[in-house]
Amino acid sequence: MAIGDTPTVTPGRRIEHDVRAQIENGNLHIGERLPSEAELSAQYGVGRNTVREALRALAGQGLLEIKVGKRGGTFVTRPSAEKISGSLRLALSLMAGTEVSVANLVQIREILEIPAAEIAALQRTEEELAALRATLFDPYHVDPDRVFGCTGGFHLAILRATHNPLLPIVASPVFQVLEERFLRDRAPQRVWLDVDRDHREIVDCLERHDQAGAREAMRAHLRAARQQYYQDMAES
């Protein structure tokens, strides 16, 4: 242990930080099992409650998985994509309106999703194209809940079709926060006509592997969405 460590850190915090550091520097690798609570409490010279709380905090971050039973125990794991994405979505949702403006969110969305469309036009498989078509909807018979799910599914399908797992992880929370805060079901039908037209145009571009077309179609689509967000803000 390094000298001059923070003097007044509670044992619980210290254990949490210590285990986290061991995961980070590879001392503990994925799938490895930690000593039992009793062993840890003996090693650190603290009670089992203290150990348990430290392990809980790390489990909340998705770094540990706790299983019961004789062959159970606490195991090192990596946060799932869903866990990361969910944490990011909640964090962005809580930041939106104070530290982070709608313009910030829109800008990130355009930075990520416009290249994503271009990459997807190159990488998409037939299966992904079919999944994308399944998200198209009939703008003349709008069930608000269904349309909301379709638009989310459309953009997620594009991100997935890039074959880069990081793009859905970082881009979908941004998209979800924007869609949650706006036009959940407040948008007039005219908007859905435009959205549907844009979606179909993008799908057409992906079908013929038209990278430049997909990029520009997505750019136009997101520009329209941006205008809708701003109009929605002005009204409320």
Q: Is 36 in the site for DNA (CB under 7 A)?
A: yes
Cβ neighbours of residue 113 closer than 8 Å, sequence gap 6 or more: 155, 158, 159, 171, 175, 218, 222
Nearer to a second copy among residue 92 and residue 195 (C-beta): 92
DSSP 147-209: HHHHHHHHHHHHHHTTT-THHHHHHHHHHHHHHHHS-SS-S-HHHHHHHHHHHHHHHHHHHTT
Minimal distance in Å, beta carbon 1 to DNA? 7
The CA R_g of the chain, rounded to the nearest whole Å, is 23
- Is the Cβ–Cβ distance between 112 and 64 less than 8 Å? no
Encoded one letter per residue, x for contact with DNA by CB under 7 A and - for no contact, window 48-77 reads xxx-xx------------xxxxxxxxx---
Query: Binding of a second copy at residue 57 (CB under 8 A)?
Result: yes
- Least distance CB 17 / DNA (angstroms): 12
Q: Using the rule CB under 7 A, is 149 a contact of DNA?
A: no
The answer to whether residue 22 forms part of the interface with a second copy (CB under 8 A) is: no
Neighbours of 184 (CB within 10 A): 11
Determine, following the binding rule CB under 8 A, whether residue 164 of this chain makes contact with a second copy.
Answer: yes
Alpha helix stretches (DSSP H) within 45-101: 48-60, 81-95
Name which of a second copy, DNA, none residue 227 binds, using a CB cut-off of 5 to 8 Å depending on partner kind. Answer: none
Sorted by sequence, the CB contacts under 8 Å of residue 107 that are 6+ apart come out as none
* Binding partner at 70 among a second copy, DNA, none, C-beta below 5 to 8 Å by kind: DNA
Q: Determine how many CB atoms are found less than 10 A away from the CB of residue 180.
A: 15
**Least Cβ distance, residue 16 to a second copy (angstroms):** 7
Kindly state the greatest CA–CA separation across the chain: 69
Binding residues for DNA (CB under 7 A): 8, 10-13, 34, 36-38, 41, 45-50, 52-53, 66-74
Binding residues for a second copy (CB under 8 A): 12, 16, 20, 23-24, 30, 49, 52-54, 56-63, 78-79, 81, 84, 87-88, 90-95, 99-100, 104-105, 107-108, 111-112, 115-116, 119, 164-167, 170, 174
